[in-house]
Amino acid sequence: MKTTKKSRKNIKWEEGSQNVFTDLEMPNAEEKLAKADLAMKINEIIAHQGLRQIDAATLLHVDQAKISLLNRGRLAEFSLERLVKFLTLLSQDIDIVVKKPKKNANQRLGRMRVIYQY
């Protein structure tokens, strides 16, 4: 189907935040995003190390089914703490930094995010 300039003008869109869970108005959106970011990094490291799911499971002290869940982004069974533990078992350093919010921040709660540095 060819889109004309006229039909493109009628398309309504809204720019989202940087958190899809917030955009979908899900509870605990920042925690969900942090877990997704950590899981993505864990999966990336497992792939980079060439580990099969059963080998990753042994290394992370879980069964293969848990690695499958992690690989498919099914994160309800994983806490932030557990995902961080997985990263340390994969020989990654973890730094947790607590800081004051920016002066112009009008938020009542602090925010949480995952930052990778290499």
What is the number of structural domains in the chain? 1
In a domain, 46, yes or no: yes
pLDDT of residue 101: 78
Q: Which residue has the tokens 């990336």?
A: 44
In a domain, 73, yes or no: yes
In a domain, 6, yes or no: no
In a domain, 31, yes or no: yes
Domain membership of residue 40 as a residue range: 20-118
pLDDT category of residue 60 using cuts at 50, 70 and 90 = very high
In a domain, 10, yes or no: no
Q: Is the pLDDT of residue 115 over 90?
A: no
The C-alpha atoms of residue 68 and residue 115 are separated, in whole angstroms, by 24
What are the CB-based long-range contacts (under 8 Å, 24+) for 67-70? Answer: 70/39, 70/42, 70/43
In a domain, 12, yes or no: no
The C-alpha atoms of residue 100 and residue 111 are separated, in whole angstroms, by 10
pLDDT of residue 104: 67
Tens-digit pLDDT profile for residues 34-58:
999 999 999 999 999 999 999 999 9
pLDDT of residue 83: 97
In a domain, 11, yes or no: no
* CATH code for position 85: 1.10.260.40
Tens-digit pLDDT profile for residues 78-113:
999 999 999 999 999 999 888 887 776 666 777 777
Phi, psi of 17 (to 5 degrees): -80, -170
96-112 b/e (C-beta count within 10 Å ≥ 16 → b): eeeeeeeeeeeeeeeee
In a domain, 103, yes or no: yes
More confident of the two residues 107 and 75:
75
**Cα-only R_g, the chain:** 19
pLDDT category of residue 63 using cuts at 50, 70 and 90 = very high
